[in-house]
Amino acid sequence: MTATNLALVGIGKIARDQHIPALAASDAFQLAATVSRSGGTEGVENYDTVEALLAARPDIPAISFCTPPQVRYAGARTALAAGRHVMLEKPPGASLSEIRALETLAQDNGLTLFATWHSRHAASVPAAKAWLSDKTVKSVRIDWKEDVRVWHPGQQWIWEAGGLGIFDPAINAFSILTEILPVEVHVTGAELQFPSNCETPIAGKIRMDGPHGPLVTADIDFLWEGDALWRLIVETDDRTLTLDQGGAVLEIDGIAQHAGAREETNIHGEYDGLYARFADLLDTNTSEVDLRPMVLVADAYTLGKRIEAPEFIDPTRTAN
């Protein structure tokens, strides 16, 4: 099998930690070029702009975008307009309307657009979905708590409008939730804590209803100290399902379950899954754009009560 040339746009923490290792392990793709004004990766041709890449490398049919969501739309639109297939890091953009516009452009040009949700590729998520498929869900508890200073050190964009703040990690929980539940949910209320010097929330509590009333409560926090807590607990009419460690570990009534063919308990396996899925989409000339996790975030903003929180000082941020 001949590997497809792929370009990676935005060589920041997520690209170096996850995308580049996943591409190095992939039989389907070869990292042929990067786009970054701050430097690419050793041994790979780098360009300052997407436009420069497109002009110089017509041999690259697929482009994966890892830039912050606020600046992703223009580059993705340029790539699609030039006839290239596009993969988007989560969240797929800064707004729902811009992703819909990209989806229409891809469809009109017969191209693949893949809006990714890496947590859906965690080892135990498929097994959780299968187990819940014939159950009646009585309640869901989400605890998604991590230290922003560990996972997003010095990244100011996350506190600017469109950066999502605590919802950048919490949208991973929502992507799992919408994947595994056998019913649809919608946000009914939220309390969101905004630091006085930030445009996005740092913590919050969100409530969601299912078809028959209250169903989901989520407690999300970006100032959590210690090991990250990424957990969903689903009470059913039968037993209790727990997905822990971001979807890597599955328990039924506290008893650990076999995760299936892929048992990585870290995020690297998730990105292997993303690129395998992108290859499948390219082979079938189809797109995958599921915006339900992003809709839940947007509705939390719309319905949420704003609570003023203390100023957030990030000691890992380098002064300009």
Beta bridge partners of residue 218, listed in sequence order: 142, 206
Quickly count: other Cβ atoms within 10 Å of residue 43's Cβ.
6
| Angle between helical axes of 292-303 and 96-108 (0-180°, round to 10) | 150
105-125 b/e (C-beta count within 10 Å ≥ 16 → b): bbeeeebbbbbbbbbbbbbbb
Distance (Å, whole) CA 278 – CA 123: 18
State the Cα torsion 27-29-32-34 to the nearest 10°: -120
Q: Are strands 29-35 and 45-47 parallel, antiparallel or unpaired?
A: parallel
Check: CB of residue 174 under 8 Å from CB of residue 116. Answer: no
Catalytic residue chosen out of the listed positions 90, 129, 138, 205: 90
Tokens for 53, please give them: 């890449």
90 is catalytic: yes
Q: How far is CA 292 from CA 171, 234, 274, in A?
A: 10, 19, 18
Beta bridge partners of residue 244, listed in sequence order: 249
Question: What number of residues does the chain have?
Answer: 320
Phi, psi of 164 (to 5 degrees): 80, -20
Beta bridge partners of residue 85, listed in sequence order: 62
Check: CB of residue 48 under 8 Å from CB of residue 25. Answer: no
Reported as half-sphere exposure (CB side, CA atoms, 13 A), residue 191 has a value of 6
Distance (Å, whole) CA 306 – CA 315: 25
Quickly count: other Cβ atoms within 10 Å of residue 210's Cβ.
18
Which amino acids are annotated catalytic? Answer: 90
